[in-house]
């Protein structure tokens, strides 16, 4: 009995040593295999897909832009797209964005030659120097008199999706920057802040405005530029007023309750070599998931009606905030090239194959907007969706809805008189 105890202890110790040895060897093999997979996959990607490297993507995007509009050469476009890639590189797990309360995402801070975003994720906007043209060093005049002659600039906040943020254009050539410059040329002192963000729908914009008010940032004029993101959201989600890719947020929210989801995330983040290998094997043995199951085709008449109802509800909400906080709202329904028979990309192009499938959705909702008597009778709502219909020049750099720098200027020109009218109205009432 006594002699059997040491033998048992030795057996347990030997088993533990063997177990640790097996575990150590297993971990070492995993690390070696992971390193080998990373090296092999990186080499394979470089050898077989060199045309899809970052440099080639940048070149392709800038070439597409040059074909889209005669004034969009590639002299600065390639550098722009390099910056666009670099500005979001630090956040690959979040699509290049940072988390932002209530509205989900914003651009990370970035400083470049053509793209600059501040710590709040807001795109830089051209604005005239403070107190330009005023003799600020004139000590012979009382401060109160100088303040009367040189009141603070009108605060104009602009909201919208990627078209307002300024996709494919430089900081000083976004719709917001053009609007600021046009107002300055007309002699108005206006400070424009661009709250536009890629893929934002009007509900996110209304929420972003509300968050501004929470912080005490109150505009004099709040301008909203919408249409495309709201329509595509209804198409993608089969519901209205929901941000793009909402299904991803639902999946992420459920991760803590799904151990396999947490394991999958851990593997994806730390063992991407194995992850890519397993993903490739799955694709070979089964068909890829059909994302169209998340979309509605054809669009029901009820969903088109609800999309317009949700948009009008957002307008009413923003107007009520304006009455409470003393700012004036303006609303614009934006143009798109999806309806153009003359300028639309060839049907065999990648862009056309991606977007022509949603044309029916755009037809249904844009048609309702154009026929809506309450909307078109609204003094603050302006449908500029036909702005480029008769143009002989193609201002769409991606063939569908992102405009060139000169196209953005024409959009700003369509807005500037309405902004000036509100400025004069506020002056007349002493605001």
Alpha carbon distance 207, 103 (integer Å): 7
Check: CB of residue 327 under 8 Å from CB of residue 209.
no
C-alpha distances (whole Å) from 214 to each of 298, 336, 386 are 40, 34, 36
CA dihedral of 16, 20, 25, 31, whole degrees rounded to 10: 160
Q: Write out the chain's pLDDT in tens, 431 residues.
A: 556 777 767 777 777 788 788 888 887 887 787 777 667 766 655 444 443 344 444 444 545 554 445 455 568 888 888 898 888 776 554 568 899 999 999 999 999 999 999 999 999 999 998 864 443 334 344 444 434 457 799 999 999 999 999 999 999 999 999 999 999 999 999 999 999 999 999 999 999 999 999 999 999 999 999 999 999 999 888 889 899 988 877 777 766 555 555 555 555 555 556 566 666 665 555 544 444 444 444 567 888 999 999 999 999 999 999 999 999 999 999 998 776 655 555 555 555 566 666 788 888 899 999 999 999 999 999 999 999 988 888 888 877 789 999 999 999 999 999 999 999 999 998 87
122-131+142-238+296-428: CATH, from 3.40.50.1110, 3.90.1150.10, 3.40.50.10420, 3.40.140.10 = 3.40.50.1110
Alpha carbon distance 212, 155 (integer Å): 13
Alpha carbon distance 424, 347 (integer Å): 47
Residue whose structure tokens are 């209304």: 206
Beta bridge partners of 158: 194, 223
Check: CB of residue 188 under 8 Å from CB of residue 223.
no
Alpha carbon distance 371, 369 (integer Å): 5
**pTM score, two decimals?**
0.76
Q: Does the bond joining 298 to the residue before it have cis omega, within 30 degrees of 0?
A: yes
Q: Where in the chain is the domain with CATH 3.40.50.1110?
A: 122-131+142-238+296-428
Alpha carbon distance 356, 345 (integer Å): 10
Alpha carbon distance 275, 267 (integer Å): 6
Both tokens of 284, joined, read: 């070979």
**Shortest CA distance to 232 belongs to which of 243, 220, 247?**
243
Alpha carbon distance 26, 33 (integer Å): 10
């Amino acid at each position: 009995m006594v002699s059997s105890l040491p033998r048992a202890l030795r057996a347990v110790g030997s088993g533990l040593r063997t177990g640790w040895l097996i575990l150590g060897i297993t971990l070492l093999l995993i690390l070696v295999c992971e390193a080998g997979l990373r090296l092999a996959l990186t080499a394979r990607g470089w050898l077989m897909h060199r045309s899809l490297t970052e440099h080639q993507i940048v070149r392709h995007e800038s070439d597409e832009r040059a074909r889209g509009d005669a004034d969009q050469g590639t002299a600065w476009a390639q550098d722009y797209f390099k910056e666009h890639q670099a500005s979001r590189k630090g956040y690959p797990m979040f699509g290049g964005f940072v988390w932002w309360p209530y509205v989900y995402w914003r651009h990370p801070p970035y400083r470049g030659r053509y793209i600059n975003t501040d710590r709040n994720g807001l795109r830089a906007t051209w604005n005239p120097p403070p107190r330009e043209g005023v003799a600020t060093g004139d000590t012979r005049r009382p401060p109160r008199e100088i303040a009367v002659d040189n009141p603070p600039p009108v605060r104009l906040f602009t909201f919208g999706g990627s078209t307002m943020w300024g996709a494919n254009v430089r900081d000083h050539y976004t719709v917001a920057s053009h609007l600021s410059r046009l107002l300055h040329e007309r002699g108005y002192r206006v400070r424009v802040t661009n709250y536009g963000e890629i893929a934002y729908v009007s509900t996110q914009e209304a929420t972003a405005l509300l968050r501004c008010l929470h912080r005490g940032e109150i505009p004099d004029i709040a301008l909203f530029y919408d249409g495309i993101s709201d329509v595509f959201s209804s198409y993608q989600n089969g519901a209205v007023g929901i941000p793009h890719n909402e299904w991803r947020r639902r999946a992420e929210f459920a991760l803590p309750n799904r151990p396999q989801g947490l394991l999958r995330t851990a593997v994806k983040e730390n063992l991407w070599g194995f992850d890519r290998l397993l993903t490739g094997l799955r694709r070979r043995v089964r068909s890829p998931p059909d994302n169209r199951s998340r979309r509605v085709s054809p669009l029901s008449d009820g969903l088109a009606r609800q999309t317009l109802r949700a948009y009008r509800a957002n307008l009413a909400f923003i107007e009520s905030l304006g009455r409470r906080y003393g700012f004036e709202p303006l609303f614009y329904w934006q143009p798109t090239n999806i309806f153009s028979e003359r300028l639309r990309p060839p049907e065999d192009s990648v862009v056309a194959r991606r977007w022509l499938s949603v044309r029916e959705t755009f037809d249904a909702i844009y048609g309702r907007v154009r026929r809506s008597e309450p909307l078109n009778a609204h003094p603050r709502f302006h449908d500029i969706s036909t702005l480029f219909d008769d143009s002989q020049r193609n201002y769409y750099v991606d063939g569908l809805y992102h405009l060139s720098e000169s196209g953005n200027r024409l959009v700003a020109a369509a807005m500037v008189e309405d902004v000036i009218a509100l400025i004069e109205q506020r002056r007349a009432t002493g605001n």
